[in-house]
A and B are shown apart, each in its own frame.
Chain A
Amino acid sequence: MDIPYIVQERPDTGLTNVKLGIWLFLASEVMLFGGLFSTYILLRINAVDWPLGSDILNVPIGTFNTVVLISSSVTMVMCYAALKLDDLAGYKKYMAATIGLSVLFLGVKLYEYVDKFSHGDYPSGSTFLAIYFTLTGLHALHIVSGVVVNGYFLGPGAALWNTNKEQFINRIEAAGLYWHFVDLVWIFLFPVLYLL
């Protein structure tokens, strides 16, 4: 017996296994970042004084990164759409763009971190810096994982297109859901850390 509903949707739930699986995983990720946001709130409430985000962090750079990441979300959804239109070349173009934008985001983040360290601002410096580095650090790790997965799907993983188009589309959809989630977390991280 083969495992069913890898490609076909199960009639009563309307889902493929991977669709349900990735959403469950994302639910756990909501709780993970939730724990960290809860930490932020508790630390800020307890603090005698809490700095204004824009006094410590560079808002234009943060804004630039936000634009970069949102763009990568757009290109990611275009990957999926291209595949649905049977356009492998289009898919590869958009996937490369997604990865490129992600690497740009990481590069800018690295610049921000190095800039902070060179001024002696380490996570141990204050609770603000601690939660800033932890939240953005964990987020960045998620981007790195996304880049690895997306890179695989651009490269060797794309071979599945030749044998089972539907399954490949499902996988890209799942990768896309993960990627949009990463973008969503940043949509909240940016104002909370940089602007408030």
Chain B
Amino acid sequence: MLMRWQLAYPFQPIPIIGEWLGDTRAPGGIMLPEFYNQLGAMHGTIMVFLGVVPLAVGGFGNFVLPLQIGAPDMAFPKLNMMSYWSFFMGGVVMLASFFVPGGAANSGWTSYAPLSVIATTGQTVWLVGMIFLITSSLLGSVNFIVTAVQLRAPGLSFMRLPFFVWAQLVTSFLLLLAFPPLEAAGVLQLMDRVAGTSFFLPSGLVVGDAPLEVSGGGSPLLWQHLFWFLAHPEVYVLILPAMGIVAEIIANNTRKPIWGYRLLIGSVIFLGFMSFVVWAHHMFMTGMGTTMSTFFQTTTMIISIPSVLILSALLLSLYGGSIRFTVPMLFALAFLPMFGIGGLTGLPLGLAAPDIHLHDTYYVIGHFHYVVAPGTLLALFGGIYYWFPKATGRKMNDLLGRIHFWGSFIAINIVFMPMFIQGLSGMNRRMADGGLEYSMNEDVLIWNTVISMGAWTLGLFQLPFIFNFFWSIKKGERVGNNPWKATTLEWSAPSPPPHGNFIEPPEVHRGPYDYSVPGSEVDFLMQTDADGPQAEPAKG
């Protein structure tokens, strides 16, 4: 929100907060460009590594996954604790970086060399923080995979798993295999900064009129390769748990099985696999050569197929459903068109030719925010409303939930839709003055103010949510095991679950979405229900 002030009202004093920022960041309340850059880099880092991943994977995964597979706990509880404390340390380090001389990291969350190598101390702190966070994810992913493979309840075959579990399983493989090269790269950049090596510094680099006193011979492109090798699978880490959450909520609130269960599983596995071979579509403008560009352009186009299949399956799941517009369902429904926009706007970026015009513009910012913010974040909100009763034994307030939804949904589109317009006219990203200096931006500068208004409105509408969340823990309407009348295993456990999750070890007799089974006398059958007709094997 501070960034949005600077973009909407460049070089004007920030009200109230401006005084607290101090002279190194905002003398006279006016944000320094250096500080804007810190905010930019840390906003990305914090949102991705301290926000979405810990919430979607660490939070939802750790809580819901063992319950959904009928397990008493995660496979390695002590490892889980280590993973949490590593995350905590990483968070402390990252936040502390704002207070070191020179401020926090300011070379973008992407930390491209050589700028990041010669940047202020905050960058070193960033690298240390990343090593903690990466370690946390690695340990967590081992735990998730072993839990999902080994601790499934009797009768819970892989093809009876809720889609949420499949999504988390693939996500964990992505984290396991993609993060380590970034950890290696982080170590290398640390060496460059602290030990004077030149892994990423080319020969003959001149900074401030003086040649750098290093051996040279390094490659800035090397950093990009290693960074994006992780960071591309990372974005699928950000979206897959959300897709899982949406699937669960849709099945529950349409009172029918998800359409195309097998197709969904095949698609999510294929998507996970392909995510490892598309990374250099972030590097089309580096002069890699046409062979590389063609290769990555092709793989990127191919990866859009499973994404579309997943979205289509979720959409088709609505057809013929008996839709209940509960608060979680509102968020899940909103996810669908939002992810659609995010995904579709990715296509011109994934093709090398249009990317020439769009690279590093606000179009990119619009694209990825659409998938993560109106996409994943809305889905995560839905998940919170959905599983809150399981975790606390109480429901969140319905009216506040609806206010939160509608306000957020409208505001979030006001924030991110205009960015496409700005980007298409060529407005660059990461500019502290909001694009003032370039005359080509003249016509689209007005949108800066609109977006900022939208952002502050969005922030305001989170207040009912925060209040609702904490108030409902104490005063929410009490509920039993299965307030949503859902089929999956977590709803067999008490709310909240005791140590060991289940009173008695569950036995699974049917698939995950036995709603409205033909020939059944009841509306839905839980996975533990032995009696009653079986649904036909999943189609699609």
Q: Does chain A bind chain B?
A: yes
Check A32/B198 contact, CB under 8 A, given A42-B219, A126-B215, A134-B188. Answer: no
Interface residues of A in 103-124 (CB under 8 A from B): 122-124
Q: Which residues of B contact A17 (CB under 8 A)?
A: 75-76, 146, 150-151
Q: Are B177 and A1 in contact (CB under 8 A)?
A: no
Flag whether B142 is at the interface (Cβ < 8 A).
Answer: yes
Interface centre among A5, A10, A28, A134, by most B CB within 10 Å?
A28
Flag whether B517 is at the interface (Cβ < 8 A).
Answer: no
Interface residues of B in 500-518 (CB under 8 A from A): 500-502, 505
Q: Are B184 and A32 in contact (CB under 8 A)?
A: yes
Q: Are B180 and A39 in contact (CB under 8 A)?
A: no
* Nearest-CB residue, chain B, relative to A24: B142
Q: Which residues of B contact A124 (CB under 8 A)?
A: 195-198, 214-215
Flag whether B72 is at the interface (Cβ < 8 A).
Answer: yes
* Nearest-CB residue, chain A, relative to B186: A35
Partner of B197, one of A33, A38, A123: A123
Q: Are A13 and B149 in contact (CB under 8 A)?
A: yes
Q: Are B184 and A24 in contact (CB under 8 A)?
A: no
Kindly provide the distance from the CB of B65 to the nearest chain A CB, expressed in whole angstroms.
14
Kindly provide the distance from the CB of A114 to the nearest chain B CB, expressed in whole angstroms.
16
Check A20/B222 contact, CB under 8 A, given A28-B180, A32-B181, A43-B217. Answer: no
Q: Are A134 and B76 in contact (CB under 8 A)?
A: no
Q: Are A122 and B184 in contact (CB under 8 A)?
A: no
Flag whether B351 is at the interface (Cβ < 8 A).
Answer: no
Kindly provide the distance from the CB of B443 to the nearest chain A CB, expressed in whole angstroms.
43
Flag whether A34 is at the interface (Cβ < 8 A).
Answer: yes
Q: Which residues of A contact B187 (CB under 8 A)?
A: 134, 138
Q: Are A24 and B73 in contact (CB under 8 A)?
A: no
Check A21/B222 contact, CB under 8 A, given A123-B191, A127-B215. Answer: no
Contact mask for chain A residues 40-51; partner B; CB cutoff 8 A; 1 contact, 0 none: 001100111000
* Nearest-CB residue, chain A, relative to B137: A28
Q: Are A24 and B151 in contact (CB under 8 A)?
A: no
The secondary structure that dominates the B interface is helix
Partner of A34, one of B181, B188, B195: B181
Flag whether B251 is at the interface (Cβ < 8 A).
Answer: no
* Nearest-CB residue, chain A, relative to B76: A21
* Count of residues in A whose CB is under 8 Å from the partner chain: 40
Interface residues of B in 63-122 (CB under 8 A from A): 71-73, 75-77, 79
Flag whether A188 is at the interface (Cβ < 8 A).
Answer: no
The secondary structure that dominates the A interface is helix
Flag whether B178 is at the interface (Cβ < 8 A).
Answer: yes
* Nearest-CB residue, chain A, relative to B75: A17
Q: Are B195 and A3 in contact (CB under 8 A)?
A: no
Q: Which residues of A contact B198 (CB under 8 A)?
A: 124, 127, 130
Q: Which residues of B contact A131 (CB under 8 A)?
A: 199
Q: Are B226 and A130 in contact (CB under 8 A)?
A: no
Flag whether A155 is at the interface (Cβ < 8 A).
Answer: no
Report the bound CA distance from A17 to B501 in whole Å: 19
Flag whether B381 is at the interface (Cβ < 8 A).
Answer: no
Interface centre among B143, B149, B185, B229, by most A CB within 10 Å?
B149
* Nearest-CB residue, chain B, relative to A34: B181
Q: Are A20 and B146 in contact (CB under 8 A)?
A: yes
Q: Are B75 and A21 in contact (CB under 8 A)?
A: yes
Report the bound CA distance from A29 to B177 in whole Å: 9
* Nearest-CB residue, chain B, relative to A33: B184
Q: Are B151 and A3 in contact (CB under 8 A)?
A: yes
Would you mind naming 14 contact pairs between A and B with Cβ atoms under 8 Å apart? A1-B501, A3-B77, A5-B150, A13-B149, A17-B146, A21-B76, A28-B142, A32-B180, A35-B185, A36-B184, A46-B219, A124-B214, A127-B217, A130-B195
A residues near B (Cβ < 8 Å) are: 1-5, 10, 13, 15, 17, 20-21, 24-25, 27-29, 31-36, 38-39, 42-43, 46-48, 122-127, 130-131, 133-134, 138
B residues near A (Cβ < 8 Å) are: 71-73, 75-77, 79, 138, 141-143, 145-146, 149-151, 176-185, 187-188, 191, 195-199, 214-215, 217-219, 221-222, 225-226, 229, 500-502, 505
Since A4-B151, A21-B75, A34-B180 are in contact, a sample of 4 more A-B pairs with Cβ atoms closer than 8 Å, ordered by chain A residue number, is A34-B181, A130-B195, A133-B195, A138-B187
6 tightest CB-CB pairs across the interface, nearest first?
A124-B196, A35-B184, A35-B181, A1-B72, A32-B180, A130-B197
